[in-house]
């Protein structure tokens, strides 16, 4: 059989690989996406929340406005292209969990950028179902990507156009570098460019061993809460978010030492005890999953071509903000691959890890 040549091969159909594939298709590139189709991956487990203000320090997400605008435009475009709906502007209520947090919030309100992202008082919510000892604030621009749906409809679209294939690539034996690109003889394919989008698996990538990963395992519960009709995301230590088929997701945990994608009793207990403090109504746990977030040591994502082997590239480090960051990163990387456009220095592989 004759080997088939592509402009670009992408390894990994998670949030990174899928979003990059869409951008390259829009630039009329002949692409192939390969994925080993594990049932548990970071993208398949994620709740897909896009949160303007996060963490104990109430920090505004890195470049939030710019990234959100790119993400919204991109997901809406793909929804139209695939006649589906997976991106939802939800709004999020965050209840304070201490006086210190409330004081910090009041101080942060002094800056215009922060003030524009929050709304107070919280618009009505069912006090019979939530016990919130303290006040809080609302983030009307918080959104949610149903990640699994986005991946599924994208895979279907790619399959119809013969640019997707199920395959597990062995990085040590399958990839041959040539003067003009790469060959994968076992799979009978070759390409001018090969891009790794393998999430936390890329911490073992022999070509990109210079990247300093700090992956974090996270656990998440799927719940049935028959009494709850709320469509916003609610956050009080843990978050609670609506999911398809009238279910809810709750999470999540952070663990840096155990990286085996196995749910734990401790993780479940942590989320459940936070939920019991938040909810007055009963809930039933119907699923419990864990996966590894592909985060880097400095919490910033990374894109670029290999400093020596220009036919290899990478998009990684999406951490806990893959839904927000993927469209902006994929656009940057696509412009770089197609037009040699410069990459933003903060996410440029070759600036962050000079050869």
Ligand X SMILES: Cc1cc2nc3c(=O)[nH]c(=O)nc-3n(C[C@H](O)[C@H](O)[C@H](O)COP(=O)(O)OP(=O)(O)OC[C@H]3O[C@@H](n4cnc5c(N)ncnc54)[C@H](O)[C@@H]3O)c2cc1C
Q: Least separation, in Å, of the C-beta of 103 and ligand X?
A: 27
Q: Least separation, in Å, of the C-beta of 262 and ligand X?
A: 12
Q: Least separation, in Å, of the C-beta of 108 and ligand X?
A: 22
Bridge-partner residues for 285, per DSSP?
223
Q: Least separation, in Å, of the C-beta of 145 and ligand X?
A: 7
Q: Pick the closer one to ligand X by CB: 107 or 297.
A: 297
DSSP 121: S
Round to whole Å and give the CA distance between 353 and 204.
17
Q: Pick the closer one to ligand X by CB: 291 or 337.
A: 291
Q: Pick the closer one to ligand X by CB: 41 or 332.
A: 41
For residue 249, give every residue at least 6 positions away whose Cβ sits within 8 Å of its Cβ, in sequence order, or none.
47, 220, 221, 222, 223, 240, 241, 243
Round to whole Å and give the CA distance between 115 and 120.
10
Q: Least separation, in Å, of the C-beta of 121 and ligand X?
A: 26
Cα Rg of the chain (Å, integer): 21
Q: Least separation, in Å, of the C-beta of 277 and ligand X?
A: 20
Round to whole Å and give the CA distance between 247 and 89.
17
Indicate the SS3 state at residue 64. helix
Q: Pick the closer one to ligand X by CB: 102 or 148.
A: 148
Q: Pick the closer one to ligand X by CB: 42 or 235.
A: 42
Footprint on this chain of ligand X (rule: CB under 6 A)? 11-17, 34-36, 38, 41-43, 45-49, 168-169, 197-201, 218-220, 251-252, 291, 293-294, 316, 318-324
Q: Which helix (H) or strand (E) holds 332?
A: helix 322-339
For residue 268, give every residue at least 6 positions away whose Cβ sits within 8 Å of its Cβ, in sequence order, or none.
219, 221, 285, 288
Q: Pick the closer one to ligand X by CB: 115 or 185.
A: 185
Q: Which helix (H) or strand (E) holds 278?
A: helix 265-278
């Amino acid at each position: 059989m004759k080997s088939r040549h592509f402009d670009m091969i992408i390894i990994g159909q998670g949030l990174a690989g899928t979003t990059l594939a869409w951008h390259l298709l829009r630039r009329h590139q002949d692409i192939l996406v390969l994925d080993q189709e594990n049932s548990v991956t970071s993208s398949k487990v994620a709740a897909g929340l896009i949160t303007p203000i996060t963490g104990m320090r109430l920090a505004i997400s890195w470049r939030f406005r710019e990234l959100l605008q790119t993400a919204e435009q991109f997901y809406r475009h793909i929804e139209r292209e695939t006649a589906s709906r997976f991106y939802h502007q939800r709004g999020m209520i965050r209840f304070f969990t201490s006086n210190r947090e409330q004081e910090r919030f009041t101080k942060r309100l002094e800056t215009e950028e922060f003030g524009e992202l929050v709304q107070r008082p919280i618009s009505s919510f069912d006090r019979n179902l939530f016990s919130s000892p303290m006040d809080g604030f609302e983030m009307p621009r918080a959104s949610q990507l149903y990640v699994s749906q986005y991946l599924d409809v994208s895979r279907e679209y790619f399959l119809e156009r013969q640019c997707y294939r199920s395959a597990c690539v062995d990085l040590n034996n399958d990839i041959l570098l040539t003067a003009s690109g790469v060959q994968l003889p076992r799979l009978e394919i070759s390409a001018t460019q090969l891009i790794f989008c393998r999430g936390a698996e890329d911490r073992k990538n022999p070509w990109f061993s210079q990247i300093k990963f700090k992956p974090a395992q996270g656990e998440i519960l799927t719940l049935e809460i028959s009494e709850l009709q709320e469509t916003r995301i609610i956050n009080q230590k843990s978050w609670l978010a609506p999911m398809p088929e009238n279910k809810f997701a709750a999470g999540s945990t952070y663990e840096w030492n155990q990286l085996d994608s196995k749910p734990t009793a401790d993780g479940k207990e942590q989320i459940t005890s936070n939920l019991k403090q938040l909810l007055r109504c009963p809930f039933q746990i119907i699923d419990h999953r864990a996966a590894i977030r592909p985060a880097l040591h400095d919490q910033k994502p990374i894109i670029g071509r290999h400093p020596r082997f220009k036919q290899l590239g990478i998009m990684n480090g999406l951490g806990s903000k893959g839904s927000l960051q993927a469209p902006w990163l994929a656009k940057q990387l696509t412009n770089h691959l197609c037009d040699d456009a410069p990459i933003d220095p903060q996410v440029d592989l070759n600036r962050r890890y000079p050869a």
